[in-house]
Structure 1
Amino acid sequence: MNNDPRADAADDRGFLTTEELAMALAMSAQSIRKRYSQTGSYFGLRPIKLLNRRLLWQADALEQLISSGA
């Protein structure tokens, strides 16, 4: 059983997995991971890093990124 409250954050739907973010942006999840690795963010989006090393991205920040046209 996992007692980390962040582990259930993806179920909250306020967050997206890296794969879901990639699908929304029509790109490879690895491209997002690479940019995050190099710069610490993906064009200003900063994920939450879970204890299992997975990344969760805020869904509302994705909407802002899309609307800004970046």
Structure 2
Amino acid sequence: MQTIQNHQVPAIPPALAAVAQGRDYIKTAEFAHAMSCANQTILKNHCLTGECFGIRPIKHGKFLLWSVTAIAKLLNGEK
């Protein structure tokens, strides 16, 4: 018997919502802009650890795509 957990969607900050424009995933440059850091910082951290700020991207073709929900949780101080 499985228990269904109640997953709450975090409130997406307005600036992140403007960048995401309704998408579930954003590209690295947009993630860097949302986190106020350089693209190379994101790429270096991903190269060294497979994640950046505790968020693991998915790879789509040659792009790394970052979850808007995970970014919103990070920006809101949630785990």
The answer to whether TM tops 0.5 is yes
The structure, 1 or 2, with the larger RCO (C-alpha pairs under 8 Å, 6+ apart) is 2
Greater helix share, structure number: 1
- TM-score normalised per structure 1: 0.74
Cross-structure match for 1:36: 46
Q: Distance in 1 between matches of 2:45 and 2:69?
A: 20
Instruction: Please tell me the residue identity of whatever aligns with 1:40.
Output: G
Name the count of aligned residue pairs.
Answer: 59
Q: Distance in 2 between matches of 1:68 and 1:48?
A: 22
Instruction: Please tell me the residue identity of whatever aligns with 1:16.
Output: I
| Counterpart check, 1:65 vs 2:79 | no
Instruction: Please tell me the residue identity of whatever aligns with 1:19.
Output: A
The Cα of 1:12 is off from its aligned counterpart by: 6.3
Cross-structure match for 2:26: 16
- TM-score normalised per structure 2: 0.66
Q: Distance in 2 between matches of 1:23 and 1:57?
A: 12
**Identical residues among aligned pairs (%):** 37
Runs ≥4 residues deviating over 4 A: none
> Which structure has the bigger radius of gyration?
2
